[in-house]
């Protein structure tokens, strides 16, 4: 392996080419070289096309544990790192590697705050066909995800939680790299995902972290083995950096819950906070909370921890906390309530019906994610403006029975033409069989 020497910031163009070439040819980058790349790209001294070439070289050549650590720390240190005052309440968070319909963070954050944790959740936007917490939150009228570090600390101390995005002052390197990876096919890389996630989580000054590492058709890791490898890398590095971390390995062949698309997922999250909503979403929310209760010694066993989390969720407190969060982050609570009780908020709603009777054998999260992106719920370029109200709900899930003519899902679209295109494509997402298939668990392993 070639070792690439660090270079001075004065001769950016020629030396950065050397770094790209070194990584392209399988060389290892020194910590200084990685720090320099992150610093200069964040400062706008390295153009997008060169950074994209470096990302693609990393995608193909990978990174050693040392390089991944250097990239993560350089990205963390591209902005401020939160420092919370001493307090009884542990500082915790959860992060997912990304999926379709994966709205767990929305009900989980207020639940954790009500369980006595402090939650400074820094999230990202949609990436590839997977949804992003920031895009979901921004479908709430007036809600801002741009909080500066002092406001995050203040809000977490007083309310127990804040949900924000990377900014010019917090992990700005991830803000820029994330957007570039999204449109250059460089997302599914273990070192890049690890650095992206852990730079944000380490900047939060956490005591404990629960990771949801997804595998399957709509996940960045297609197989359980790849997800396990990613989980091991994340857990090892996070623990090495002093954060008590566990990872759940979860299934992303089928969307989580019955709704996917930014606003539709907010609405389903409220169902979960109000004791309704899909069982798989509730199970994952409760399990993430239970792991954190157990990890931080607040429950002696996972069984007790799950009961504690379920009891708190059903108490209605997290639902009230959610409203307080909306108000704290500039949201218009009345407009939010009106939107919540209104029917479909996109211009068009159209049902897709089963063409035969039988059991749902497949509800393909990848196709559904692509359809939502094409409806305008995700991005094809950095400039794409998200349409918050489009998406799919009322999804029929594997194992369920439908008669011919019953609804398989409902499409929310901006135009009749896009609803029609979605409907044609969605027919491929479902398979119906005569016999029910065996039920698949959501959580496969804990690392
Ligand atoms: N979530 C992130 O924050 N970054 C990734 O790269 C993938 C999922």
Over residues 207-212, the mean pLDDT reads 97
pLDDT in tens, 240-269: 999 999 999 999 999 999 999 999 999 999
What CATH code is carried by the domain that includes residue 370?
3.90.1170.30
Catalytic residue list contains 444: no
Instruction: Inform me whether the pLDDT recorded for 1 exceeds 50.
Output: no
Is 3 contained in some domain?
Answer: no
Mean pLDDT of the chain: 93
pLDDT of res. 437:
85
pLDDT of res. 381:
73
Helix (H, G, I), strand (E, B) or coil at 345: coil
pLDDT of res. 182:
84
- What DSSP line would sit under 13-59, residue for residue? HHHHHHHHHHHHTTPEEPHHHHHHHHHHHHTT-S-HHHHHHHHHHHH
Q: Which helix (H) or strand (E) holds 413?
A: strand 407-413
94, 122, 187, 226: residue to mutate for ligand 1 pocket, most atoms within 8 A of CB: 187
pLDDT band at residue 166 under the 50/70/90 scheme: confident
Is 372 contained in some domain?
Answer: yes
Catalytic residue list contains 412: no
Cα–Cα distance measured from residue 75 to residue 79, given in angstroms and rounded to the nearest whole number = 8
Q: Which helix (H) or strand (E) holds 98?
A: none
Cα–Cα distance measured from residue 134 to residue 95, given in angstroms and rounded to the nearest whole number = 13
Do 16 and 107 belong to one domain? no
Do 197 and 248 belong to one domain? yes
pLDDT of res. 251:
95
Q: Which residues line ligand 1 (CB under 6 A)?
A: 97-98, 124, 127, 187, 193, 196-197
Do 121 and 268 belong to one domain? yes
**Cα–ligand 1 centroid distance for 326 (angstroms):** 24
Question: Going edge to edge, which strands form the sheet with 208-215?
Answer: 92-96, 208-215, 244-251, 443-446
Domain count, the chain: 3
**Given the residues 40, 135, 174, 280, the one annotated as active site:** 174
**Given the residues 61, 176, 200, 402, the one annotated as active site:** 200
Do 225 and 360 belong to one domain? no
Residue that is last in its domain, among 338, 370, 387: 338
HEC per residue, 209-252: EEEEEEECCCCCECCHHHHHHHHHHHHHHHHHCCCEEEEEEEEC
Percent pLDDT > 90 in the chain is 87
What CATH code is carried by the domain that includes residue 57?
1.20.970.10
Is 269 contained in some domain?
Answer: yes
Do 14 and 158 belong to one domain? no
Is 46 contained in some domain?
Answer: yes
pLDDT in tens, 46-55: 999 999 999 9
193, 226, 238: residue to mutate for ligand 1 pocket, most atoms within 8 A of CB: 193
Q: Establish how many alpha carbons lie within 13 A of residue 77's alpha carbon, considering only the half-sphere containing its beta carbon.
A: 13
**Given the residues 69, 103, 181, 373, the one annotated as active site:** 181
pLDDT band at residue 270 under the 50/70/90 scheme: very high
Which has the closest alpha carbon to 68: 157, 170, 190? 190
Instruction: Inform me whether the pLDDT recorded for 400 exceeds 50.
Output: yes
Over residues 406-428, the mean pLDDT reads 96
Cα–Cα distance measured from residue 440 to residue 100, given in angstroms and rounded to the nearest whole number = 17
Do 249 and 398 belong to one domain? no
Catalytic residue list contains 199: no
pLDDT in tens, 280-322: 999 999 999 999 999 999 999 999 999 999 999 999 999 999 9
Question: Going edge to edge, which strands form the sheet with 358-363?
Answer: 401-402, 358-363, 430-433
Do 141 and 253 belong to one domain? yes
Do 292 and 255 belong to one domain? yes
Over residues 27-56, the mean pLDDT reads 96
pLDDT band at residue 343 under the 50/70/90 scheme: confident
Is 1 contained in some domain?
Answer: no
Do 232 and 287 belong to one domain? yes
The structure tokens listed for 166 are 């990377």
Catalytic residue list contains 251: no
Instruction: Inform me whether the pLDDT recorded for 9 exceeds 60.
Output: no
Catalytic residue list contains 2: no
Is 40 contained in some domain?
Answer: yes
What CATH code is carried by the domain that includes residue 291?
3.40.1030.10
Domain that holds residue 359: 348-433
Instruction: Inform me whether the pLDDT recorded for 4 exceeds 60.
Output: no
Do 262 and 289 belong to one domain? yes
pLDDT in tens, 181-204: 988 989 989 999 999 999 999 999
Residue that is last in its domain, among 338, 371, 397: 338
**Number of the ligand 1 atom closest to the C-alpha atom of 181:** 6
pLDDT of res. 14:
52
Instruction: Inform me whether the pLDDT recorded for 11 exceeds 70.
Output: no
pLDDT in tens, 370-386: 999 999 999 877 677 88
pLDDT in tens, 111-128: 999 999 999 999 988 777
**Number of the ligand 1 atom closest to the C-alpha atom of 193:** 6
Do 220 and 284 belong to one domain? yes
pLDDT band at residue 58 under the 50/70/90 scheme: very high
pLDDT band at residue 5 under the 50/70/90 scheme: very low
pTM > 0.75: yes or no: yes
pLDDT of res. 324:
98
Is 440 contained in some domain?
Answer: no
Residue that is last in its domain, among 316, 338, 360: 338
Is 399 contained in some domain?
Answer: yes
Over residues 23-49, the mean pLDDT reads 95
Do 195 and 321 belong to one domain? yes
């Amino acid at each position: 392996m070639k070792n690439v020497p660090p270079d001075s910031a004065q001769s950016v163009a020629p030396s950065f080419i050397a770094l790209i070439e070194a990584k392209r040819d399988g060389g290892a980058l020194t910590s200084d070289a990685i720090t320099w790349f992150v610093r200069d790209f964040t400062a706008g001294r390295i153009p997008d096309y060169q950074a994209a070439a470096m990302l693609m070289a990393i995608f193909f050549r990978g990174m050693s544990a040392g390089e991944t650590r250097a990239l993560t720390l350089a990205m963390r240190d591209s902005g401020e790192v939160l420092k919370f005052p001493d307090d009884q309440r542990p500082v915790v968070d959860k992060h997912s590697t990304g999926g379709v319909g994966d709205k767990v963070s929305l009900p989980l954050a207020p639940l954790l705050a009500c369980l006595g944790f402090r939650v400074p959740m820094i999230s990202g936007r949609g990436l590839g066909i997977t949804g992003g917490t920031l895009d979901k939150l921004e479908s709430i009228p007036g809600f801002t995800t741009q909080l500066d570090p002092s406001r995050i600390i203040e809000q977490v101390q007083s309310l127990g939680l804040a949900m924000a995005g990377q900014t010019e002052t917090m992990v700005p390197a991830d803000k820029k790299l994330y957007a570039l990876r999204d449109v250059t096919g460089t997302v599914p890389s273990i070192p890049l995902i690890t650095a992206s996630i852990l730079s944000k989580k380490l900047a939060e000054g956490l005591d404990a972290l629960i990771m949801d590492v997804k595998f399957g058709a709509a996940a960045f890791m297609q197989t359980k083995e790849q997800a396990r490898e990613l989980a091991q890398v994340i857990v090892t590095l996070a623990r090495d950096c002093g954060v008590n971390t566990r990872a759940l390995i979860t299934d992303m062949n089928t969307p989580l819950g019955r709704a996917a698309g930014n606003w539709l997922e907010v609405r389903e999250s409220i169902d979960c906070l109000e004791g309704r909503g899909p069982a798989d979403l509730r199970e994952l929310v409760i399990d993430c909370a239970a792991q954190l209760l157990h990890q931080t010694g607040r429950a002696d066993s996972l069984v007790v921890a799950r009961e504690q989390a379920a009891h708190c969720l059903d108490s209605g407190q997290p639902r009230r906390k959610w409203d307080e969060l909306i108000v704290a982050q500039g949201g218009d609570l009345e407009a939010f309530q009106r939107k919540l009780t209104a029917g479909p908020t996109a211009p068009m709603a159209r049902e897709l019906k089963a063409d035969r009777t039988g059991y749902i054998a497949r509800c393909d999260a990848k196709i559904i994610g692509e359809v939502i992106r094409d409806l305008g719920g995700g991005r094809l370029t950095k400039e794409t403006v998200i349409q918050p109200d489009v998406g799919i709900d009322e999804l029929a899930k594997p194992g369920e029975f439908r008669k011919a003519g019953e609804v398989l899902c409902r499409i929310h679209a901006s135009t009749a033409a896009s609803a029609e295109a979605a409907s044609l494509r969605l027919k491929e997402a479902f398979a119906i069989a005569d016999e029910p298939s065996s039920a698949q668990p959501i959580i496969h392993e804990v690392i």
